[in-house]
Amino acid sequence: MSNEFVARSVVAVPVEEAFAWHMRPGALERLTPPWQHVSVVERTGGVADGGRVVLRVPAGPFKLTWTAQHGACLPNRRFEDEQVRGPFKAWRHVHGFEPTEDHSGAVLEDRIDYTLPLGSAGSLVAGRAVARTLERTFAYRHAVVRGDLERHHAWGERSWSIGVTGASGFVGSALAPFLTAAGHRVTRLVRGPGRDGIAWDPERGTIDGARLEGLDAVVHLAGHNIAAGRWTRARKRSILESRAKGTRLLAETLAKLDKPPRVLVSISAIGFYGDRGDAVVDESSAPGKGFLASVCREWESATEPARAHGIRVVTPRLGIVLGAAGGALARMLTPFLLGAGGPVGSGRQWMSWISLDDVLGVIGAALFDDRLQGAVNAVAPGAVDNREFSRVLGRVLRRPAFLPLPALAVRLLFGEMGRELLLASQRVRPAALDAAGFRFRHPDLESALRFELGRLQGAPLVAPARLETVRA
């Protein structure tokens, strides 16, 4: 039995911009929901020239191979992909683009005709689950396209060459597609021989500086994971050196170039402020005490050679980054989904968070908005205490959230790391972003969690089995 699914929405950019975004490298990665854990195994050709893409798709404890062939491309109007091999008996997906009546925007339409295997038995067993997955997936996809296009449009038409360290990490693996889908060229700084990109080794103090010549910008994300294990003396030394040594090596190298980049965006963290209780802090506040505060001070100071050479330097101080593919939220999901989530310690400590999607927006603003320089607090305006965070996450996941993790257990299990990462209180205000007029896509916690976890509510874009008139 054949099924039809249709999703439509309007974006506030001309249809040519919307179509071009879908044609570029990075668009597929941006459109793939992080909670689905789909990986691209192979890609040949592009959307416009009948290319093929091979995906690895989770199916319970197994992995399925899905091969799709692109075709029927009509510039600024449509393209399609069809399953060659995969989990469906048949799958044809038509991506449509139409200008709005005044041609200032574009109507995006995804129309999918699919047939499940095993006939009526397959529809009985999996039909509703597939329909729910499509609704969830395309609500997310349309939200991503709308947000990315509006941000890229606001930053103007430009095509920069951007170097990125840490491009395979949690933030970097999302940033690279975000930039390439906008038309920028991303060059990765990588460790180890035989890999594509610019070679560098911060521990040995080596970098292929000649290949940095002419880059328009560099985004520096690399550094050892601070939450990967207890903070032994050796571990703390590697955390500090991975940030301070690597940043100084990069800043000094950029300062010596004949054609240095216009801007260096070097990530920092709100650990700079230490444990501040209920006090509200912003970029003008003094540094705090503790290991993370000392790391952040040295981390940011290491950018000074670039700043002294006239390169605009921005150091976004990241709060708790919320994303389904990694970071703190990914580690919380299992206990919360099992009904074992709840407040940590007293639950009264403040949590200054930001969605991964808004982190990409902050980095983009740091790159393209000359008003931003120096420290920039990359946190949403709606800080919450740990008890409220637990309540909201439980509500989004439809799970109870009342089992506490006592502070004593945190100290015994995690030591100093637990005290600074789980029990410290940081109520941080994004003053620099507010002054620059930055628009958060997810200013409140529930909207951020629903977007990042694919649990959007009331999405008006889904119109199963029929089309409706859409006006800008």
Measured between alpha carbons, how far is residue 454 from residues 47, 136, 142, 461 in Å? Answer: 26, 6, 12, 14
Say whether both 139 and 200 belong to one domain.
no
Q: How many residues does the chain have?
A: 472
Same-domain pairing of 169 and 193? yes
d(CA 110, CA 244): 47
Query: What is the distance between the alpha carbons of residues 7 and 466, in angstroms, rounded to a whole number?
Result: 9
Handedness of CA 351, 357, 363, 366 (dihedral sign): negative
Looking at the fold, whether 177 and 282 belong to one and the same domain comes out as: yes
d(CA 155, CA 105): 17
CA-CA distance, 422 to 347, in Å (whole number)? 10
Q: Domain total for the chain?
A: 2
138 lies in the same domain as 215: no
d(CA 247, CA 363): 17
Distance between CA atoms of residues 375 and 432, nearest Å: 8
- Whether 193 maps to a domain, the answer reads yes
Which pLDDT score is estimated for 321? 97
User: Are the beta carbons of 257 and 269 closer than 8 angstroms?
Assistant: no
Q: In this structure, what CATH number is given to the domain that contains residue 410?
A: 3.40.50.720
The whole-number pLDDT of residue 33 equals 94
Say how far apart CA 355 and CA 379 lie, in whole Å. Answer: 8
DSSP 405: B
462 within a domain of the structure (yes/no): no
Q: How many CB atoms lie within 10 A of CB 16?
A: 14
Based on the fold, state whether residues 295 and 162 are members of the same structural domain: yes
Please return the burial class of 79, using the count of CB atoms within 10 Å of its CB with bins 0-12, 13-18 and 19+.
buried
Residues 6+ apart with CB under 8 A from 206: 199, 200
* Segments forming the whole domain that contains residue 226: 158-441
* CA-based max dimension of the chain: 70
Residue 23 domain-assigned (yes or no):
yes
Please state, in angstroms and rounded to a whole number, the distance separating the CA atoms of residues 360 and 364. 6
3-class SS at 412?
helix
CATH code of residue 148: 3.30.530.20
pLDDT at 462: 42
Which is it for strands 280-281 and 427-428: parallel, antiparallel or unpaired?
parallel
HSE-CB for 433 with a 13 A CA cutoff = 27
Q: Are residues 315 and 337 in the same domain?
A: yes
Task: Confirm whether 455 is domain-assigned.
Answer: no
Per-residue pLDDT at 245 = 95
Characterize the bridge pairing of strands 206-207 and 198-201: antiparallel
Q: What is the pLDDT at residue 467?
A: 30
Angle at 189 between CA 185 and CA 194, to 5 degrees: 105
Q: Are residues 204 and 338 in the same domain?
A: yes
40 belongs to a structural domain: yes
Could you say which of 95, 122, 154 is where a domain stops? 154
Do 126 and 262 share a domain, yes or no?
Answer: no
Residues 114 and 192 in one domain: no
Beta bridge partners of 14: none
**The pLDDT of residue 194:** 53
Do residues 188 and 144 both lie within one domain?
no
Examine the fold and report which residue of 130, 154, 178 is the final residue of a domain before the chain moves on. Answer: 154
- Integer Cα distance of 166 and 219 in angstroms: 9
Question: First-to-last CA distance in the chain?
Answer: 35
Do 143 and 112 share a structural domain?
yes
Ranges under pLDDT 50 in the chain: 459-472
Token output for 94? 């038509």
276-302 per-position pLDDT tens digit: 999 999 999 999 999 999 999 999 999
Burial of residue 27, with CB atoms counted within 10 A of its CB: 0-12 exposed, 13-18 middle, 19 or more buried: buried
